[in-house]
């Protein structure tokens, strides 16, 4: 005995491989008499152990309803707690992002104030370098009186400009005059050629460098400009020193921590003294060597500042864990590069804990979770009720589909019947059209025999030409009749020329047109590409043409006009006659099934109804009206745009 999954139930198979339906393993299992198995087994845990020879043991453990309710309740509560925790964390992150954005805006203001302060003095050394007394003093030997005059002049200018110090250096880097000449920390007589700003001025004409003064011990920012003679000869340098104690005191009034670091990441300006001269990243051996040579931070101990990135907001915005002078703390760290100076301005702000916002976010998330749970429970109940109606709805849909297929089959049969009826009504004219060439061919064959009996082979060959033409015409006619009589599937959409369909329809009615002496006017635009079924469109046109011919049967003036032209995105085909037109009270009923104005026995009134259905199925429109001394039928179809072949 073997087991198999049969339509959702595990069933044993007999020796022939067929399922034994009377002994299901899973599914609607048969209960023995007196069985205590639970009635509703959808919540039961089922265990199956298969022993040799397919001995099957089943264990079904029912979960009590109170236990299930307790489990679901705990699951809902756990979901609410998790949603509240996630929402609180998200609110905390949003608060950090908003705080970081505000800190960045504040940092921009601090950066503008620092930039404005430096720009106020940037042009001062260049202006003083143009002073004629400074240039004359550097050209020749400098006596004591001239030096004293320059010192006092620089002292007055420094006081008016409110800069820190001004000094004049010769071509060797020796300070020959300074605004602090009368102080113990005077620059006069000291050589500063080792400073980078002097070498920059010598090579580039200007220089800038932040350093701790080797003479005064006061840090500052040195801006220099070259002093040149008439022939652009380098004579020396004019230097202004800027100090930032006022800026640091102004920054210290706020709650934020502000730092300015150089290109090596060394903090040299801070609104809290304990953060000054801290290295934001490790210094290499070459950095230490250059700092020693330039004495940039002379006698200052550079301590590392350990920081760990906890969260990244953007390239210059992070949440950092910083081990600062006051111990470890989290800071929102915003950075602003000052490209003109090669510095970086930093703003450190302790995150503001928005407890109320986080609590509100958690409560909102928990409430949303509970609302979602209740909505799911409500929808589940509705779904269970909907399942009760599903089977009847499916049965109804199946009946509708079957009825639709039956109606479509009936419609296709009606179209084919109308087509065959049209062929039957044209049979007499078509038989006459074929009978005439057959009679002519018999006479032609008799002529050929006489010519061959008299040995006139060349004349016989010439006589075969009209015979071949008549056979070709008959073959084309019968071939088209066969195509027209073929049953065409509904829904066919192919790209075709509507003008060619008109030609084929006229070809079938050619005999009747000649016999009844119909004056035909054709005005066709070629090609007229549409999408549809050529056979069904030909059936529509034949029906319209036959109705027009029937209407003109007893009229003295017989004129048939067929026109085809484009109107915006549509092809418009009109068929008009001189048959007297349609009565006004009948215009709204001409396309109704079984409506006809012909005598009894001449028609069932289905031709126009079938034509209207065919055109409507192809996405077009068929309308009727009166024009002049006759009726006019208008057929419109969308223009089929040419689409490229897809490879």
- Examine the pLDDT at 565 and tell me if it is beyond 90: yes
- Give the integer Cα–Cα distance in Å for 306 and 323: 5
Average pLDDT over residues 358-368: 81
Question: Which strands sit side by side in the sheet containing 257-261, from one edge to the other?
Answer: 267-270, 257-261, 343-349, 327-338, 317-324, 306-314
pLDDT at 585: 86
Highest mean predicted confidence (pLDDT) among 86-95, 233-242, 484-493: 233-242
225-239, 461-475, 624-638: the lowest-pLDDT one: 461-475
pLDDT at 570: 92
For residue range 510-522, list pLDDT tens digits in order: 878 888 888 999 9
- Examine the pLDDT at 20 and tell me if it is beyond 80: no
What's the CATH code, domain 427-638? 3.30.565.10
pLDDT at 38: 42
Categorize the per-residue pLDDT at 606 as very low, low, confident or very high, splitting at 50, 70 and 90.
low
Of residues 604 and 229, more confidence is placed in: 229
Q: Name the CATH superfamily, with its identifier, for domain 123-242.
A: PAS domain (3.30.450.20)
Residue appearing with tokens 């039957």? 424
Categorize the per-residue pLDDT at 47 as very low, low, confident or very high, splitting at 50, 70 and 90.
very low
Closest CA to 614 of 563, 508, 528, 538: 538
Distances (CA, A) of 168 to 120, 138, 151, 237, 333: 20, 9, 9, 6, 41
Question: At residue 494, what are phi and psi to the nearest 5 degrees?
Answer: -130, 155
Average pLDDT over residues 417-424: 60
For residue range 62-110, list pLDDT tens digits in order: 788 888 888 888 888 888 888 888 878 877 788 888 888 888 898 899 8
pLDDT at 423: 57
Q: Quick one: fold of 244-388?
A: Beta-Lactamase (3.30.450)
Of residues 565 and 485, more confidence is placed in: 565
- The torsion defined by the Cα of 594, 549, 523 and 532, in degrees rounded to 10, comes to 30
Average pLDDT over residues 357-382: 84
Rounded to a whole number of angstroms, the distance between the first and last alpha carbons of the chain is 56
> What is the DSSP code (8-state) at residue 423?
H
- Examine the pLDDT at 241 and tell me if it is beyond 50: yes
Domain with CATH 3.30.565.10 in the chain: 427-638
- Give the integer Cα–Cα distance in Å for 479 and 636: 28
For residue range 579-603, list pLDDT tens digits in order: 888 888 888 888 877 777 776 555 5
- Give the integer Cα–Cα distance in Å for 539 and 546: 10
- Examine the pLDDT at 460 and tell me if it is beyond 50: yes
| Six token digits for residue 152 | 């006092």
pTM assigned to the model: 0.47
Of residues 600 and 631, more confidence is placed in: 631
Average pLDDT over residues 245-273: 88
- Give the integer Cα–Cα distance in Å for 128 and 267: 31
Residue appearing with tokens 């006619």? 477
Of residues 36 and 295, more confidence is placed in: 295
Distances (CA, A) of 244 to 218, 248, 410: 10, 6, 99
pLDDT at 560: 92
Closest CA to 576 of 538, 514, 625, 542: 625
pLDDT at 8: 42
Helix, strand, coil shares, percent, the chain, to 5: 45, 25, 30
- Give the integer Cα–Cα distance in Å for 177 and 188: 6
Categorize the per-residue pLDDT at 10 as very low, low, confident or very high, splitting at 50, 70 and 90.
very low
Cβ atoms of 229 and 214 within 8 Å: the answer is: no
Average pLDDT over residues 21-35: 41
Highest mean predicted confidence (pLDDT) among 16-20, 102-106, 434-438, 632-636: 632-636
pLDDT at 68: 81
Of residues 223 and 512, more confidence is placed in: 223
Of residues 102 and 422, more confidence is placed in: 102
172-181, 293-302, 373-382, 603-612: the lowest-pLDDT one: 603-612
Domain with CATH 3.30.450.20 in the chain: 123-242, 244-388
Categorize the per-residue pLDDT at 226 as very low, low, confident or very high, splitting at 50, 70 and 90.
very high
- Examine the pLDDT at 166 and tell me if it is beyond 90: yes
For residue range 530-561, list pLDDT tens digits in order: 998 888 888 888 888 888 888 898 888 889 99
- Give the integer Cα–Cα distance in Å for 352 and 330: 11
pLDDT at 100: 86
Average pLDDT over residues 250-269: 89
- Examine the pLDDT at 385 and tell me if it is beyond 60: yes
Cβ atoms of 253 and 163 within 8 Å: the answer is: no
């Amino acid at each position: 005995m073997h087991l198999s999954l049969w339509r959702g139930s595990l069933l044993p198979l007999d020796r022939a491989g067929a399922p034994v339906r009377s002994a299901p393993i899973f599914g609607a299992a048969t209960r023995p008499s007196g069985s205590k198995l639970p009635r509703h087994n959808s919540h039961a845990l089922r265990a199956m152990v298969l022993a040799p020879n397919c001995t099957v043991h089943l264990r079904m453990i029912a979960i009590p309803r109170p236990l299930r309710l307790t489990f679901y309740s705990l699951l809902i509560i756990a979901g609410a707690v998790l949603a509240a925790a996630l929402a609180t964390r998200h609110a905390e992150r949003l608060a950090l992002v908003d705080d970081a954005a505000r800190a960045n805006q504040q940092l921009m203001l601090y950066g503008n104030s620092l930039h404005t302060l430096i720009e106020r003095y940037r042009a001062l050394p260049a202006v003083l370098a143009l002073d004629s007394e400074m240039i004359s003093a550097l050209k020749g030997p400098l006596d004591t009186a001239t030096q004293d005059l320059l010192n006092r002049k620089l002292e007055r200018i420094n006081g008016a400009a409110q800069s820190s110090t001004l000094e004049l250096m010769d071509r060797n880097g020796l300070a020959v005059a300074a605004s602090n000449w009368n102080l113990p920390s005077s620059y006069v007589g000291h050589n500063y050629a080792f400073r980078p700003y002097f070498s920059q001025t010598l090579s580039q004409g200007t220089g800038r460098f932040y350093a701790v003064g080797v003479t005064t011990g006061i840090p500052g920012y040195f801006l220099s400009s070259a002093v040149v003679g008439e022939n652009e000869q380098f004579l020396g340098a004019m230097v202004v020193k800027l100090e930032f104690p006022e800026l640091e005191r102004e920054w210290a009034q706020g709650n934020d921590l502000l730092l300015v670091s150089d290109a090596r990441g060394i903090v040299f300006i801070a609104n809290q003294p304990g953060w000054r001269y801290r290295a934001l990243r490790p210094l290499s051996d070459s950095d230490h060597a250059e700092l020693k040579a330039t004495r940039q931070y002379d006698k200052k101990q550079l301590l590392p500042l350990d920081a760990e990135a906890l969260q990244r907001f953007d390239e210059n915005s992070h949440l950092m864990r910083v081990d600062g002078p006051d111990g470890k703390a989290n800071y929102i760290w915003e950075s602003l590069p000052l490209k003109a100076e090669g510095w970086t301005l930093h703003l450190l702000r302790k995150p503001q804990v928005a407890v109320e916002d986080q609590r509100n976010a958690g409560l909102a998330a928990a409430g949303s979770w509970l609302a979602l749970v209740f909505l799911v429970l409500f929808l589940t109940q509705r779904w269970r009720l909907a399942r009760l109606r599903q089977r009847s709805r499916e049965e109804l849909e199946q009946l509708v589909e079957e009825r639709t297929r039956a109606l479509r089959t009936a419609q296709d049969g009606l179209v084919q019947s109308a087509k065959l009826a049209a062929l039957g009504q044209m049979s007499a004219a078509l038989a006459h059209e074929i009978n005439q060439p057959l009679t002519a061919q018999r006479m032609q064959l008799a002529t050929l025999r006489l010519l061959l009996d008299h040995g006139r082979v060349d004349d016989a060959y010439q006589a075969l030409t009209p015979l071949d033409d008549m056979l070709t015409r008959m073959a084309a006619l019968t071939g088209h009749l066969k195509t027209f009589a073929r049953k065409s599937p509904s829904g066919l959409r192919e790209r075709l020329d509507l003008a060619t369909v008109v030609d084929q329809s006229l070809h079938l009615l050619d005999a009747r047109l000649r016999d009844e002496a119909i004056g035909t006017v054709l005005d066709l635009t070629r090609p007229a590409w549409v999408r549809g079924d050529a056979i069904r469109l030909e059936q529509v046109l034949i029906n319209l043409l036959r109705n027009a011919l029937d209407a003109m049967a007893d009229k003295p003036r017989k004129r048939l006009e067929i026109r085809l032209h484009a109107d915006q995105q549509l092809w418009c085909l009109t068929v008009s006659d001189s048959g007297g037109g349609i009565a006004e009270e009948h215009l709204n009923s001409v396309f109704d099934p079984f409506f006809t104005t012909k005598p009894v026995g001449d028609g069932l009134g289905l031709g126009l109804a079938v034509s209207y259905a065919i055109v409507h199925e192809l996405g077009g429109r068929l309308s009727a009206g009166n024009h002049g001394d006759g009726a006019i039928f208008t057929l419109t179809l969308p223009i089929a745009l040419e689409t490229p072949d897809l490879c």
